[in-house]
Amino acid sequence: MSYKPKNLLVTGGAGFIGANYIQWLLNERPDVYIVNLDLLTYAGNLENLNNLPSPDRHTFIEGDINDGSLVERLLREHSIDTIVHFAAESHVDRSISGPGEFVRTNINGTYVLLEAARQYWLGEQKLDKATLSASRRFHHISTDEVYGTLSESDPAFTEETPYAPNSPYSASKAASDHLVRAYFHTYGLPVTTTNCSNNYGPYQHGEKFIPTVIRSCLEGSPIPIYGDGSNIRDWLYVEDHARGIQRTIEAGRLGETYNIGGHNEWRNIDIVRLITEMLDKANPEGAPHDRLITFVTDRLGHDWRYAIDAAKAQRELNWTPRESFETGIALTINWYLEQHK
């Protein structure tokens, strides 16, 4: 099956991953039109949407995915055939201090979108099963954190790994994943889901790990490292993620989940040392940057290791990441250096 989206509603498209996806999609798919719905919370930034290619094919709407009447109106007015759902509260520390907003946005917001799609496509448009499957998509972006944590010797997460979320953030994303699955099996809504590993690249919010490290180096301020820095993550360059999402939308099997990972497992402390070494060369007046490393009290419920097995995506979608961590982090550092000038 090959699906070609035409009119897309992208939620959270002013955020880090959503904005990168929109940039990539407008470049790579010249026949699509995008409606971008974002509430512009702390994580959304209209500057992420500056200099879009073909801006006439992009409309920005400031609004809340929990506003069902707004979502339904956008679906109808723009004849939306594809929903790409990025909008989410995603910072683990924030979920620990204030879990309520994560429940509201990640669980209830996903429900509102699913219900709006069901009412519009199945109710108002009265699409039969065959037409619905061939002409509509609801794609949900999730995270590897729903699977819990791994020891050093455990195999990487697959799509069959049982869910075991350990933070309010990952629990809320797990709940949203289950809602998406239920709407497929109960109502026949044509859904796909991707669970990605940690993303990095241009436009990432400053509170995240890699931007924090780079910014600290450029400002000469302490680089905070949780615990002893031995926690391991699999890292995915954001443009590789955009390609993986689109391949899933266009070629993925309905109702299926695909894990999108970077094949790049790194300890946090090793990432910091790599970045400081690169910045020693790129920004020598601040060298040696590793003098800024500062170990801080570990986060509550801090998962020790995440790792993604993306074999299914490679096998069924012919998707693999193009960037190694070294090449991707070099691109990322260069982008931040340009912004810092």
Superfamily of domain 7-197+237-263+306-321: NAD(P)-binding Rossmann-like Domain (3.40.50.720)
The C-alpha atoms of residue 167 and residue 130 are separated, in whole angstroms, by 39
The C-alpha atoms of residue 148 and residue 305 are separated, in whole angstroms, by 9
Residue spans of the domains in the chain: they are 7-197+237-263+306-321
The reported pLDDT for the residue numbered 42 is: 83
Q: Which residues contact 53 (CB under 8 A, 6 or more apart)?
A: 23, 26, 27
- Give 99-102 contacts, CB < 8 A, sequence gap 24+: 99/168, 99/172, 102/168, 102/169, 102/172
pLDDT tens track for 166-175: 999 999 999 9
Closest CA to 39 of 95, 119, 112, 136: 112
- Binning pLDDT at 50, 70 and 90, where does residue 302 land? confident
145-165 CB burial, b ≥16 within 10 A, e <16: bbbbbbeeeeebbebebeeeb
Residue 54 has pLDDT above 80, yes or no: yes
Given its phi and psi angles, is residue 336 left (phi above 0), alpha (psi -120 to 50 degrees) or beta?
alpha
The CA angle 168-203-291, to the nearest 5 degrees, is 85
The reported pLDDT for the residue numbered 341 is: 67
Catalytic residues: 144-145, 169
- Other CB atoms within 10 A of residue 56 CB: 8
Report helix, strand or coil for 260: strand
pLDDT tens track for 92-131: 878 889 999 999 999 999 999 999 999 999 999 999 999 9
Closest CA to 286 of 225, 230, 213: 213
**Structure tokens that stand for 255 in this block:** 């109702």
What helix, strand, coil percent values describe the chain, rounded to 5?
50, 20, 35
Q: Answer whether 172's CB lies under 8 Å from 208's CB.
A: no
Residue 202 has pLDDT above 60, yes or no: yes
- Binning pLDDT at 50, 70 and 90, where does residue 339 land? confident
Residue 219 has pLDDT above 80, yes or no: yes
* pTM to 2 decimal places: 0.94
